[in-house]
């Protein structure tokens, strides 16, 4: 009830700002678990994808989002709490594994879980290498993975922008992916294969340029000046 109420309250604003369009909604199962594996361009990705899907979707959200300041930040934090999004502490491998374990419980309960295989927002709008956590989650849950392309969200709210601006949002949802063909593969290799296959599918939907690096590594290089922002 609270989830639907939150969508009813914030939905008109999001529809007016983004006039969102969804292709492939029929690929989402009417019941049962599935992983929605999306590219990540803006923190409002986690607003628009659940808004446009009838079934509730749980996303992991950085712990600092739950304590955000300012009008937009407080609204976002309230939305996260009201829709039972998963608070995620990204400090260290143990925290990352705890998040995956919580996600596994959500999937085993037959729910939809939203996941960003890149691990963080793209620093420049390109598509970056997927982390193997998506492989761990898919292989341990047995849930199908639906590749998702978010388009327009970075233009609406680029990193560092204080407020969103009206921009057309498009969401493309691909066909379910299953990974029974990886049975018998060494676990690390199987997890890596899942991540690579999912990122290829997301790239086909989004049309983004692919970069065979982790987005977090590029962000670190930008921070310490060892690389320059892409024009």
Coil, helix or strand for 180?
A: helix
Helix, strand, coil percentages (3-state) for the chain, rounded to 5, are 45, 15, 40
Q: Which helix (H) or strand (E) segment is 195 a member of? A: helix 187-206
* Segment 36-46, tens digit of pLDDT: 999 999 988 98
Q: How far is CA 102 from CA 64, 87, 127, 208, in A?
A: 18, 10, 26, 30
CA-CA distance, 12 to 5, in Å (whole number)? 12
Among 39-48, 61-70, 162-171, 184-193, which stretch is predicted with the lowest mean pLDDT?
61-70
pLDDT at 120 over 60: yes
CA angle 53, 55, 56 (to 5 degrees): 100
The DSSP symbol for 177 reads B
Coil, helix or strand for 150?
A: strand
Mean pLDDT of the chain: 88
* Segment 15-37, tens digit of pLDDT: 999 999 999 999 999 999 999 99
Q: Which CATH architecture has domain 2-224?
A: 3-Layer(aba) Sandwich (3.40)
Per-residue pLDDT, 93:
60
Is-contact 126 222, C-beta < 8 A?
no
pTM higher than 0.85, yes or no?
Answer: yes
Q: Which helix (H) or strand (E) segment is 217 a member of? A: helix 215-224
pLDDT at 217 over 90: yes
Phi first, then psi, for residue 87 (nearest 5°) are -70, 130
Through-space distance between the first and last CA atoms of the chain, rounded to whole angstroms: 45
DSSP string, 42-107: STTHHHHHHHT-SS-EE-EEEGGGGG--HHHHHHHHHHHHHTT-EEE--SSHHHHHHHHHHHHHHH
Coil, helix or strand for 202?
A: helix
């Amino acid at each position: 009830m609270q989830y639907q109420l939150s969508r009813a309250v914030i939905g008109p604003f999001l529809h007016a700002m983004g006039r969102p369009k969804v292709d492939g909604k029929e690929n989402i199962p009417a019941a049962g678990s599935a992983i929605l594996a999306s590219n990540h361009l803006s923190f409002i990705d986690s607003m628009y994808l659940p808004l446009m899907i009838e079934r509730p979707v749980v996303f992991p959200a950085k712990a600092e989002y739950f304590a955000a300041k300012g009008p937009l930040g407080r609204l976002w934090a309230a939305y996260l709490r009201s829709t039972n999004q998963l608070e995620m502490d990204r400090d260290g491998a143990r925290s990352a594994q705890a998040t995956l374990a919580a996600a596994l419980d959500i999937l085993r309960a037959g729910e939809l879980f939203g996941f960003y295989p890149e691990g963080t927002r793209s620093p420049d709008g390109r598509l970056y290498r997927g982390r193997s956590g998506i492989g761990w989650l898919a292989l341990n849950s047995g849930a199908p993975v639906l590749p998702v392309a978010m388009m327009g969200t970075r233009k609406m709210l680029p990193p560092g922008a204080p407020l969103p601006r009206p921009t057309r949002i498009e969401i493309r949802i691909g066909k379910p992916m299953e990974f029974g063909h990886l049975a018998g593969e060494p676990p690390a290799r199987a997890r890596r294969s899942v991540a690579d296959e999912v990122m290829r599918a997301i790239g086909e939907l989004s049309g983004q340029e692919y970069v065979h690096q982790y987005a977090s590594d590029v962000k670190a290089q930008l921070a310490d000046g060892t690389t320059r922002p892409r024009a």
